[in-house]
Amino acid sequence: MLQMAGRMKVLGTETAFEVLARAKALEAEGRSIVNLGIGQPDFPTPPHIVEAAAKALRDGHHGYTPANGIPQLREAVAADLLRRHAVEVSPEHVLVVPGGKVTMFFSILMFGEPGVEILYPNPGFPIYESVIRFSGATPVPVPLYESAGFSFSAEEVLAKITPRTRLLILNSPANPTGGVVPRRELDRLAAGLERHPHVAVMSDEIYGEIAYDGAEHVSLLRYPSIRDRVILLDGWSKTYAMTGWRMGYGVWPERLIGAAQRLAINCHSCVNAAAQFAGIAALQGPREPVRQMVAAFAERREMIVAALNALPGFRCARPGGAFYTFPNIAGTGYDARALQSKLLEEAGVATIAGTSFGTFGEDYLRFSYANSLDAIGEAIERIRHFLGNLSGSGIK
């Protein structure tokens, strides 16, 4: 009998991939599915980025690179952070990794073990809780409230810190809610963290460039008093439509970068060389493709929020960033998982149940609006039709 390690039993997953597989299976049967489930830009990677990777291969960049990433790329990351956040980062503190997720995995493994508590957002990206459990640590949810635009309250976060807390995970702009934590809340949090020097912070800012209505994305790197224990998670996947390239980076404080590099050497050695050259082109190239993509998301956001609010039983807050909306669907009379399943199987619309993002998501569905206005319009019509057929059946 093969016996896996006990920790394998607690490893979770990302339902988005399961919904995607089911949607593809239904399509293969000839069904028409509108996919508002998947969390990736529907735009192609800008051509100058693709060309940089092709050129790198033609130029013979086919070997290993330094484990932490080629120096020119790490310098480009530092320059980008200076441009976006007005913070000085040493390229020596940048660790280029295959996707945003790796910084999350490494920081949780670095701090998590039995007896330790790790705070994480709920509803939040499901991999946080999964890897916390995998590490043996205890996940302690930080609730995000619809009434507060899905921000946390700094007071509440600070009150959850105990002597056993080693890591606090933050995510703004957020998946699945689109919430953006206001600067005043971050100011309060950073000030309060000064009283808890044993707590490191992993700030997932992968949607940092996708914010609307002038909503300000404030990086945790901007707080000097806690800077020596902040790990920044960022990457290319969302900003440059590069999810399949597997390109991300962490900025690690001086006392953690060595351990993070050792994890990288033990895990993946280095990131695909050609993709790293593409990463340089993305950071140093024209900003226009990013601006255009964000403008398209902004237009879709207007449309989908209004349309969801007009559906019976739905109530949809206006997200400040990312490309998700997280309407409250309690008024439909369905629980989230049942509605997810009905919408996919009967209405042909893929969405993700809020419970996939934690216990506090049970009254919600996540819609990704990384799809065309036409596709979103079609999805809304199908849902309206589906709910209409239920009239008199308990919709509140």
Ligand X SMILES: Cc1ncc(COP(=O)(O)O)c(C=O)c1O
- The answer to the question of residue 237 lying near ligand X (CB under 6 A) is yes
Q: CB under 6 A: which stretch of 76-84, 162-170, 235-243, 358-366 binds ligand X?
A: 235-243
- The answer to the question of residue 142 lying near ligand X (CB under 6 A) is no
Measured in degrees and rounded to the nearest 5, phi and psi for residue 87 equal: -120, 145
- The answer to the question of residue 122 lying near ligand X (CB under 6 A) is no
Measured in degrees and rounded to the nearest 5, phi and psi for residue 299 equal: -65, -45
Residue nearer to ligand X on the CB measure, 169 or 347: 169
The Cα–Cα gap between 250 and 103 comes to: 6
- The answer to the question of residue 173 lying near ligand X (CB under 6 A) is no
Residue nearer to ligand X on the CB measure, 46 or 99: 99
Closest-CA residue to 235 (of 250, 222, 225, 224): 250
**Token code pair at residue 368:** 């990704």
Task: Quote the least distance from Cβ 154 to ligand X, whole Å.
Answer: 20
Distances (CA, A) of 130 to 185, 267, 359: 27, 19, 13
Beta bridge partners of 248: 97, 235
Amino acid, res. 117: E
For the chain, the residue count is 396
- The answer to the question of residue 321 lying near ligand X (CB under 6 A) is no
Task: Quote the least distance from Cβ 51 to ligand X, whole Å.
Answer: 21
Q: Which of 46, 248, 321, 327 binds ligand X (CB under 6 A)?
A: 248
The Cα–Cα gap between 183 and 174 comes to: 15
Q: Which of 15, 45, 219, 243 binds ligand X (CB under 6 A)?
A: 243
Q: CB under 6 A: which stretch of 77-85, 99-107, 159-167, 216-224 binds ligand X?
A: 99-107
- The answer to the question of residue 279 lying near ligand X (CB under 6 A) is no
Task: Quote the least distance from Cβ 248 to ligand X, whole Å.
Answer: 5
Q: Which of 15, 34, 38, 39 binds ligand X (CB under 6 A)?
A: 39
Residue nearer to ligand X on the CB measure, 39 or 313: 39
The Cα–Cα gap between 272 and 270 comes to: 7
The Cα–Cα gap between 239 and 246 comes to: 13
Q: CB under 6 A: which stretch of 95-103, 209-217, 293-301, 381-389 binds ligand X?
A: 95-103
Residue nearer to ligand X on the CB measure, 210 or 296: 210
- The answer to the question of residue 283 lying near ligand X (CB under 6 A) is no
Task: Quote the least distance from Cβ 176 to ligand X, whole Å.
Answer: 8
Closest-CA residue to 350 (of 330, 377, 379, 325): 379
Task: Quote the least distance from Cβ 350 to ligand X, whole Å.
Answer: 15
Cα angle, residue 240 at apex, residues 43 and 273 outer, rounded to 5°: 120
Helices 100-111 and 254-267, packing angle to 10 deg: 110
Task: Quote the least distance from Cβ 126 to ligand X, whole Å.
Answer: 9
- The answer to the question of residue 125 lying near ligand X (CB under 6 A) is yes
Q: CB under 6 A: which stretch of 23-31, 80-88, 98-106, 356-364 binds ligand X?
A: 98-106
The Cα–Cα gap between 88 and 104 comes to: 22
Using the structure block, give the residue that is written with the tokens 């994890």.
263
CA–chain centroid gap for 31, Å, is 29
The Cα–Cα gap between 323 and 300 comes to: 9
Cα angle, residue 219 at apex, residues 213 and 222 outer, rounded to 5°: 125
- The answer to the question of residue 235 lying near ligand X (CB under 6 A) is yes
Closest-CA residue to 325 (of 288, 354, 295): 354
Q: Which of 93, 101, 366, 382 binds ligand X (CB under 6 A)?
A: 101
Residue nearer to ligand X on the CB measure, 177 or 328: 177
Q: CB under 6 A: which stretch of 42-50, 68-76, 97-105, 379-387 binds ligand X?
A: 97-105
The residue ranges that bind ligand X (CB under 6 A) are: 39, 99-101, 125, 171, 175, 204, 206, 235, 237, 243, 248
